[in-house]
Amino acid sequence: MLTLLRPAAVLLACATLLTGLLYPLVVTGLAQAVFPAEANGSLILAAPGRVEASALIGRPSERDRDFWSRPSATSPHPYNGAASSGSNLGPYHPALVEAVRGRVEALRAAHPERAGVPIPVDLVTTSGSGLDPHISPAAAHFQTARVARARGLSEETVRGLVDAHTEGRMLGLFGAPRVHVLRLNRALDALPPGGA
């Protein structure tokens, strides 16, 4: 047994050096050299040194003129990038059903043009991370009439912009079609006033 002590201790030390320090440092070095933007969080800079957002983390807007993101379960406030969290509510938890009922009512009130249209599920459910930057194309199209109204644009223009910002599945197989909410809102902001 005593003859096992040295190899056990030394090999653990070797593994710590190799896989706990050398390996992450080599990956960090290569990542920073080859993919610097991605390795640092895919940040969007408003100005040099001023980070506006990460392209991968949702940045919601509640204004009528913007597309709205999914609800978020992070605390203490939604879309808290420092502490990711899902709701972890079971499918029939009364709190989930009540929360969704409230969100449905709010959406219905804000979208009179869509009366009777089934509500896209992602628009009233929280994501796993609480940081989801995307909504489904159906969830975007559900909002086009409100956004067009608030911005004084034709709904056709807004719909066209949604379609242009819709990403499909990878190879037609993996993932799901989606719209990046922040990019779509920025593209709206970039339109000339009064519509194109």
Partner 1 sequence: MTAQAWATMAAYVALLLALAVPLGAYIARVFTGEAHLARRLLGPLERLSYRVAGVRADEEMSWRRYASALLLFNLFGVLVVYGLQRLQGVLPLNPAGLPGVPPEVAFNTAVSFASNTNWQAYGGETTMSHLTQMAALTVQNFVSAATGLAVLVALIRGFTRRLTETIGSFWVDLVRGTVYVLLPLSLVLALALVSQGVVQTLDGAVELAPAAAAGQETEPASEQIALGPVASQVAIKQLGTNGGGFFNVNSAHPLENPTPFSNLLQMLAILLVPAALCFTFGALVKDRRQGVALFLAMLVIFVPLMIGTVAAEQAGNPALTALGLDPAGGNLEGKEVRFGVVDSAIWATSTTAASNGSVNAMHDSFTPLGGLAPMWLMQLGEIVFGGVGSGLYGMLVYALIAVFIAGLMVGRTPEYLGKKIEAYEMKMGMLVVLFPAAAVLLGTALACVLPAGTAALGNPGPHGFSEMLYAFSSGANNNGSAFGGLTVSGHFYSVAIGLCMVLGRYGLIVPVLAIAGALARKKGVPMTAGTLETHTPLFVGLLVGTILLVGALTFIPALALGPIIEHLSFGAK
50-79 residues in contact with partner 1 (CB under 8 A) are: 50-63, 70, 77-79
Please list every residue from 82 through 121 that binds partner 1, using CB under 8 A.
82-94, 96-97, 100-101, 104, 108, 118-121
For residue 195, what are the contacts with CB-CB under 8 A and spacing of at least 6?
151, 152, 153, 154, 157
* Interacting span for partner 1 (CB under 8 A) from 18-26, 147-155, 156-164: 18-26
For partner 1, give the closer residue by CB, 3 or 194.
3
Considering only residues 67, 68, 136, 162, which one is a binding residue for partner 1 as defined by CB under 8 A? 136
For position 188 contacting partner 1 by CB under 8 A, the verdict is no
What is the DSSP code (8-state) at residue 153?
-
* Interacting span for partner 1 (CB under 8 A) from 32-40, 147-155, 156-164: 32-40
For partner 1, give the closer residue by CB, 190 or 194.
190
- How far lies 195's CA from each of 3, 58, 138, 141, 167, in Å? 80, 26, 23, 18, 24
User: Which tokens is 155 given?
Assistant: 């709904």
For partner 1, give the closer residue by CB, 83 or 156.
83
Determine the Cα–Cα distance for residues 174 and 189; give it in Å rounded to an integer.
31
Determine the Cα–Cα distance for residues 54 and 133; give it in Å rounded to an integer.
9
Please list every residue from 141 through 160 that binds partner 1, using CB under 8 A.
none
Shortest approach of partner 1 to residue 76 CB, angstroms?
11
Determine the Cα–Cα distance for residues 110 and 63; give it in Å rounded to an integer.
11
